[in-house]
Amino acid sequence: MSRGSDPVTHSIETPDSPLAGSGPAHDRSTAGWDRVIAHADMDAFYAAVEVLDNPTLRGKPVIVGGSSARGVVTSASYEARIFGVHSAMPTAQARKLCPDAIFVRGRMDRYVEISRAIRDVFDAFSPVVEPLSLDEAFLDLTGSERLLGPPIEVARALKRRVIERTGLVVSVGVASTRMAAKILSDMSKPDGLLILGPDHLCAFLEPLPVERLWGVGRVTLARMHQEGIRTIGELARRDVADLKARFGSFGPHLYELANGRDPRPVVADWQRKSYGEENTFEHDLALDSLELRRVLIAHADALGRRLRADQVRARTVTLKLKLARPLGGGRYPILTRSASSDDPTDDSAAIAKLAIMLVARVTEREKVRLAGVQVHNLERADASQMGLFDSPAGAAAKSTRLNRALDAVARRFGDDAVTRGLARAERAAPSRRIK
Ligand SMILES: [Mg+2]
């Protein structure tokens, strides 16, 4: 393995292979790609960190894991893998396979530290990064071509930046689906880079063992074998109705994957997040009371501020109400109502309007003891759009200006300084922030 060299593929690449680690075949354009998805995965991460921090380990079989009788291998250097050692293997077995191995106890703090540096690098290449663990992530590179160049150049640059920043090697797969990208990064290891165009996706999947498909575990695999299905191609050619009869709704799902159709997008971790504010009242409030409105407006104000500070916008607002009628055992009925808007927003007034509108949808005529507002379905606030509003005009611009002014006041004097001229909402306890 040549660390830091220009990454090329290893045994997999052939001159007429649909896989390109280098060469002109699929370098230049992503025309015809629905999505461009990279999967980046650090090589033997924990073991590599140990070698990085203790160069005397370089070139030796290093095994990270519990050394007790019941310990398992969490990571093994490639020098150890040659002996058949792999992660999740009992340490005792690894010791038998590779008696000369150097066993190291893991240092999670250090792995987390390096993981953050890796994440910084990934974030510089895509606004949509979906981490799967400390050392691997999907990056959505769709539409990045104009800015960053063709995917192969991006992937090479990514590998270079990770080495420069951390001294560690990452392998990268690029494809039009998540599943294929992940299979490719795995196949390319160590120090690999594989790119597969969508035209070649099915031909690539065809000969692979069916357990390569996500979700095919031991039980499903045994049943697939019973049905005479051993490769992804064999599954792809089956009758989908027949698969449904035999495997339930999982059958058609696997059939789609086998045929190269995997519509799941890369979802950034910030997109999964939601923001929420809620509080319990000193006295139960009527649904149509002014006090309840004030509380919702205060929550919306706080949410808008948090969204703007994080530069994200939300499409969906959820109202949460806890009714005052006890169910016994300290429990109360909880109602939620949600509404989404076409335009993602970070505007407190827009969030308040939706929340108040949702109160009107509640048919129960009961008092409430708690009210909360949550926002989710987040999007990154578009930087270019924000630029447009630098010299705002019109209604949206007016609320942008107002929000900025309020944010500035809140930063100086604290959140409670800003409740849009309303009396402070009645609170039994300070609002709870939920993230
Ligand atoms: Mg890894």
Could you say which of 258, 292, 327 is where a domain stops?
258
Specify whether 300 is located in the same domain as 397: yes
Domain that holds residue 252: 206-258
Tell me the two tokens of residue 182: 């992940």
Length in residues, the chain: 435
Whether 79 sits among the annotated catalytic residues: the reply is no
Asked whether residue 383 carries a pLDDT value surpassing 60, the answer given is: no
The neighbour count for residue 79, using CB atoms within 10 Å, is 23
Domain co-membership, 395 together with 285: yes
Q: Which two tokens stand for residue 276?
A: 């929420």
Is the residue at 216 inside a domain?
yes
pLDDT exceeds 60 at position 26: no
Q: Is the pLDDT of residue 117 over 70?
A: yes
* Axis-axis angle for helices 348-360, 394-413 (nearest 10): 100
**Cα 13 from Cα 177, distance rounded (Å):** 20
- pLDDT above 80: residue 43: yes
Position 103 pLDDT exceeds 50 = yes
For residue 184, give both structure tokens. Answer: 């490719």
Q: Is residue 169 one of the residues assigned to a domain?
A: no
* pLDDT exceeds 70 at position 50: yes
The answer on 345 and 252 residing in a single domain is no
Do 277 and 234 lie in one domain? The reply is: no
**The pairing of beta strand 368-380 with beta strand 312-323:** antiparallel
Label residue 169 left, alpha or beta by phi (over 0 means left) and psi (-120 to 50 means alpha).
beta
Number of domains present in the structure of the chain = 2
Task: Compute the distance from residue 173 Cα to the ligand 1 centre, in Å.
Answer: 12
Residues 371 and 318 in one domain: yes
The neighbour count for residue 259, using CB atoms within 10 Å, is: 17
Q: How far is the CA of 75 from the centre of ligand 1 (A)?
A: 9
Cα(194)–Cα(175) distance, integer angstroms? 9
Kindly give the distance from the C-alpha atom of residue 2 to the centroid of ligand 1, in angstroms, as a whole number.
18
Q: Which pLDDT score is estimated for 223?
A: 94
Residue 44 Cα, ligand 1 centroid: separation in angstroms? 6
Q: Is 168 exposed, middle or buried (0-12, 13-18, 19+ CB in 10 A)?
A: buried
Other C-beta atoms closer than 10 Å to the C-beta of 196 total 24
394 and 302 in a common domain: yes
Residues 290 and 427 in one domain: yes
The one catalytic residue among 79, 130, 136, 145:
136
Q: Quick one: pLDDT at residue 240?
A: 96
Q: Is the dihedral of CA 292, 295, 297, 303 positive or negative?
A: negative
Question: Is the pLDDT reported for residue 398 higher than 70?
Answer: no
pLDDT per residue over 200-257, tens digit each? 999 999 999 999 998 898 999 999 999 999 999 999 999 999 999 999 989 999 999 9
CA dihedral over 407, 411, 412, 415, signed as positive or negative: positive
| Phi and psi at residue 72, to the nearest 5° | -125, 160
Nearest one of 129, 128, 163 to 6, comparing CA atoms:
163
pLDDT of residue 385 exceeding 60, the answer is: no
Q: What is the pLDDT of residue 56?
A: 97
Q: Which one is predicted more confidently, 144 or 229?
A: 229
Q: What pLDDT sits at residue 179? A: 94
How far does residue 168's CA lie from ligand 1's centre (Å)?
Answer: 11
272 confidence band (pLDDT: 50, 70, 90): confident
Long-range contacts at 255-261 (CB < 8 A, ≥ 24 apart): 257/179, 257/213, 257/214, 257/215, 258/205, 258/210, 258/213, 258/232, 258/233, 259/202, 260/177, 260/180, 260/198, 260/201, 260/202, 260/205, 261/177
Residue 291 lies in a domain: yes
Rounded to 5 degrees, what are φ and ψ at 52?
Answer: -55, -45
Sequence-ordered alpha helix ranges (H) in 126-247: 145-148, 151-166, 178-188, 201-205, 218-226, 232-236, 240-247
Q: Would you state the pLDDT for residue 402?
A: 72
Model confidence at 191, pLDDT cuts 50, 70, 90, reads very high
Instruction: Choose one of 258, 282, 302: the last residue of a domain.
Output: 258
* 295/330 same-domain check: yes
Other C-beta atoms closer than 10 Å to the C-beta of 54 total: 12
45 alpha carbon – ligand 1 mean position (Å): 5
Please tell me whether residues 242 and 282 are part of one structural domain: no
- Can you tell me whether residue 89 is helix, strand or coil? coil
